Homo-oligomer: A and B are copies of this chain.
Amino acid sequence: MNPTNENLPGLKEIEAASKRISGVASRTPLVESPALSRLTGHEVYLKLECFQPIKVFKIRGAYNKISLLSQSGVVAASSGNHGIAVAYSSRLLSKKCTVVVPETAVREKVDTIAEYGAEVVTAGRYSIEREAKARKIAEATGAAFVHPFNDPDVIAGQGTCGLEIAHQLSDIDAVLVPVGGGGLISGVSTALKAIRPETRVYGVEPQGAPKLAEALKAKKVVTIPSPASIADGLIPSALGGLTYEACSRNVDGTFTVSEEDIIRATRTMIKEARIFAEPSGAAPLAPLLSPSGVIGRRVVLVVSGGNLSHELLAKLLSP
């Protein structure tokens, strides 16, 4: 359970994952949003991970990981989306599944986890608490603990998103990826730098949880004491050792965005691009809505998920 840097997946592992998840995860659309291009002055393309079968990219990593396990049971700790992915994949692969969620999880996400047949256990507010609980259950039951990001097979799975981007569009100046524990950006940046080394990859994270920005500055994993954001997929306390290593090799920089920026980005994604993104998935739009200038002309935003609460959606739709 202590992966070393030699475990970091490369293009070969990502391509193998791509074959493994084919028919389960979607090759999601990569489309220009003329409305966002007009609004921002960039050429804005959206990689619509919110159109995955479970409306979030996490299906890529979870299915790749779980399909390789010999254990008949799996346990996950998740603020929602990883749990949905593990529950959904476990159901397809006929594994018994338990998901530990925080007290603060979005209700719609918890409902979805339960619908896919997983047992839902509640534990605390922070990722550290639920991970401890999940590891305890794994130890007691012999089930495999599936980490949401710090796992080579999970990172390789998420990397298939970057593989698709590299094959779907050329002349990309920059790809903006939301950063939770760093699994998605680790995989995406690994794939992109292998195929299109000229494309810059940036992380986007909330001011309340700048794990990647702080880690790149300190040149090591940094733990944020009380991470908080409306972007509930982006608030683990820290990167993992593996995701830190992948990011330090392949990520060109980060944007730290305020809560106000994230809400504005989510509203704009829904009202202007007409894509129902959750705050974590809309966050990569935030840097384009403020003057920046360093990003380049043709920009891909990874819209990582669309599991937003109906309460928030109703609020954002009101004039």
Measured CB to CB, the residues of A under 8 A from B are: 23, 26-29, 31, 34-35, 38, 48, 51-55, 108, 111-112, 115-117, 168, 270-271, 274, 276, 307, 310, 313-314, 317-318
Contact = CB atoms under 8 A, between A and B. Distances in A.
A54 B317 CA distance: 20
Contact of A274 (B28, B117, B307): B307
Copies in the complex: 2
Nearest to A54: B31
Contact of A29 (B26, B276, B313): B26
**Top 3 A-B pairs, shortest CB-CB distance:** A51-B51, A29-B53, A34-B115
Given A55-B274, A274-B307, 16 more contacts: A23-B168, A26-B26, A26-B27, A26-B29, A27-B27, A28-B51, A29-B52, A29-B53, A34-B116, A35-B115, A38-B115, A271-B310, A313-B317, A314-B314, A314-B318, A317-B317
Contact of A34 (B52, B108, B117, B314): B117
A132 B8 CA distance: 61
Nearest to A46: B53
A163 to B, nearest CB: 14
A20 to B, nearest CB: 17
Contacts of A51: 26, 28-29, 48, 51
A307 B51 CA distance: 14
Contacts of A117: 34
B112 A274 contact: yes
Nearest to A307: B274
Contacts of A310: 270-271, 317
A313 to B, nearest CB: 6
A55 B55 CA distance: 14
Contacts of A38: 115
28 contacts: A26-B27, A26-B28, A26-B29, A26-B51, A27-B27, A28-B51, A29-B51, A29-B52, A29-B53, A31-B53, A31-B54, A34-B116, A35-B111, A35-B115, A38-B115, A48-B51, A48-B53, A51-B51, A55-B274, A108-B274, A112-B274, A270-B310, A271-B310, A313-B313, A313-B317, A314-B317, A314-B318, A317-B317
Nearest to A37: B115
A70 to B, nearest CB: 26
A307 B108 CA distance: 22
